[in-house]
Amino acid sequence: MSQLEIRDGQYYLQGEPYRIVSGAIHYFRVVPEYWMDRLQKLQACGFNTVETYVAWNVHEPQEGQFQFEGMADIVQFIELAGQMGLHVIIRPSPFICAEWEFGGLPAWLLKESDMQLRCSDSAYLAKVDRYYDVLIPKLVPLLSTQGGPILAVQVENEYGSYGNDTSYLTYIRDGLVQRGIDVLLFTSDGPTDEMLLGGTIDDVHATVNFGSRVAESFGKYREYRETEPLMVMEFWNGWFDHWMEPHHVRDAAEVADELDKILESSSSVNLYMFHGGTNFGFYNGANHIKTYEPTVTSYDYDAPLSEWGDVTSKYEAVRSVFAKHGIEPGCEMPQPIPKYPYGKVTLSESATLLDNLDQLSEPVKSTFIQPMEKFDQAYGFILYSTWVKGPRSGQKLHIQEVRDRAQVFLDGKLLGVVERWDPKPLDISIPENGARLDILVENMGRINYGPRLRDPKGITEGVLLDNQFLYNWTIRTLPLCPDSLTSVRYETTKDHDLRVETPAFYKGCFEVEEIGDTFLRFDGWNKGVAWINGFNLGRYWEIGPQRALYIPGPLLRKGRNEIVLFELHGFLTEPVITLSDQPDLGESAAVDDRVLNFVQDEQTP
């Protein structure tokens, strides 16, 4: 038995004082073939522990249907870490934040409009219980008390940033214990009165999250926990990116200085993130402090290990601080993973969305507008269509509560775009014979933090011409699962003038002799989603900051490979993409110190 205990204000492991030196790696953001590489680089830096969240929406994508294979094989990830001699911290909270879609909550929870999230609502707790009945038995054999690597397990996550229902926290704690979790339990919250009051319970170890102001943050923590060991469960050494903003970076020397202060305080620490990875598919989250802000596909986080697994100057700075404090590398550094410039690929085949609706979806008739969750849809796009009688001249089209970005077509021609962060009405006139109105809405990621967590997608209220609601809709769900894409009927790509502003699929192939990592540059394209060999790489958008999508080598195969883009607005010059050996996260800007601390006025809705 190798149990982590708290005695005399410090951690003990196997009867000896112990310092946790942990780094965050999320198994669901890294292809399994690279788990060992990332864990070796963690160990080679000097870390003795890896921390990971557990994303509920990854493991129960449809209600009652569970998934623990491939990138969802959490057991394999934990076992691998243990085989390498690393300890593991698990954070299986129903909610994880993590800039992950809906904070890890499954979208199907939103089908029940009256259900309250993250509190003692019996309907919500029943869903959590069913999930934990499947998940927790997989973790129990991996606990340190059972000879496994798991030292500690989290009860909820930054709950003080959301609510104060301590009976809910107690319920989650009791549920973990009753299912066999007998290692150290903990909570983690920001260093403010509100967060520590709302997010902790008396008989569970409390940890704290921050990015700077070490003495001030620990001082606030000590006001609530005088005798517990200091543990920074999230030391934010970088930050994440939203579309329409610069790429966030944080100076390596500054990170090293703050880390040095943490270690001088005799604190344990978990670097968030050590390696960020990628928000593959439609799994990026979003924030809403002052307005809606969707997160980009990359989760590079300006971490010590880059999105594609390269050692950075921050890695070296962290290792130097560790050496100062007697923390030595635990293994040799693995060889770098090769990157290849496979060059230009012509997407020689194309197919418009409107011409392939019957291949991609089944129409549903509805008198009124409803969001995608009501149709058991979690991600992707949804199309609302209706016939509008004419004549109507000089009117305004209003979309009430678009979530999150809508392209509006009148008789197949683009009328305009309505965005959640700038919901302006569109000018519209209907001819005497009437016209077909199509509204294609993109779910750009559900909010993952704060009081606006409930975030249904599509159109959530209605569509009006001036003050008149439009009814009698045909609705098509377009989750764009890889299986559905195989039914698209392609033709030879025509002159781009015929494709401008028309949502369409573009397909091309290329040959590979040597497999390595590469980067898909989308220069000349506007906005859309990319697949490689049927795997959803994520979203691209010329607005930046991200200028290329990371393609891990294991997603490629020797010989023929296929790329598909679902482009919303058409290409600018020619239907060509480039596979480069150079990443591009766009223009950078330093992380504001205020961002690295929970400042109350910035969290106010």
Nearest to 276 by CA among 251, 312, 246, 245: 312
Catalytic (active-site) positions: 158, 234
Q: For residue 521, which amino acid is it?
A: R
Tell me the Cα Rg of the chain.
Answer: 25
What's the residue count for the chain? 605
Structure tokens at 328: 């030595």
Write out the E strands in 63-195: 87-91, 150-154, 184-189
User: Which residues have C-beta within 8 Å of that of residue 380, sequence separation ≥ 6?
Assistant: 282, 442, 443, 477, 478, 479, 480, 481
Distance CA 273, CA 385 (A): 43
Angle among Cα 541, 545, 551 to the nearest 5 degrees reads 70
Beta strand 392-403 with 458-465: parallel, antiparallel or unpaired? antiparallel
Contact 329/43 with Cβ under 8 angstroms?
yes
537 φ, ψ (degrees, to nearest 5): -75, -25
Kindly tell me the sign of the dihedral angle through the C-alpha atoms of 12, 14, 16, 18.
Answer: negative
In DSSP notation, 409-467 reads EETTEEEEEEETTB---EEEEE-TT-EEEEEEEE----B-SSTT-----EEEEEEEETT
Q: Are 561 and 511 in contact (CB under 8 A)?
A: yes
